[in-house]
Amino acid sequence: SWRRGHVAESLCVLSLRLRGYRVVARRFAGGRGTGAGEVDIVARRGRVLAFVEVKARPDATTAIEAVGPRQQARIRRGAESFLKRHPDLLDCLIRFDVMAVAPWRWPLHLTDAWR
């Protein structure tokens, strides 16, 4: 549900902040209907800019498996669109992460989930 996703996302933001990330954007959409894609969380730590997909599922494995090639492409398009609007971040090291949220568990952060 939308609410569960929102709670999962907020938990991930908290988890990232506790580990020294600065959240640059949440629910970034490159433009509805443009095919530009969207990204749940954009977070930065040092020179690393992470585009994070949040998945809430009954368990972490199912959550990670839920990010297939089509979603990866959507997130990549979202990242490209985000960087066009924020050229000052182009010198960052770009990374795609997945954060899996399962009930009663702290989010599992899979860094560099795909290239």
Q: Using an 8 Å Cβ cutoff, are 26 and 13 in contact?
A: yes
pLDDT at 1 over 70: no
State mean pLDDT over 30-37: 68
Q: For position 2, what pLDDT does the model report?
A: 65
pLDDT at 43 over 90: yes
Using DSSP, state whether 4 is helix, strand or coil: helix
Cβ-based neighbours of 102, under 8 Å, separated by 6 or more: 56, 57, 58, 59, 60, 63, 108
Q: Using an 8 Å Cβ cutoff, are 60 and 100 in contact?
A: yes
State mean pLDDT over 62-84: 92
Q: List, edge to edge, every strand of the sheet that includes 38-45.
A: 22-29, 38-45, 48-56, 93-101, 108-114
Using DSSP, state whether 95 is helix, strand or coil: strand
- As a whole number, the mean pLDDT across the chain is 91
pTM for the predicted model, two decimal places: 0.92
State mean pLDDT over 89-97: 96
Q: For position 107, what pLDDT does the model report?
A: 95
Q: For position 115, what pLDDT does the model report?
A: 84
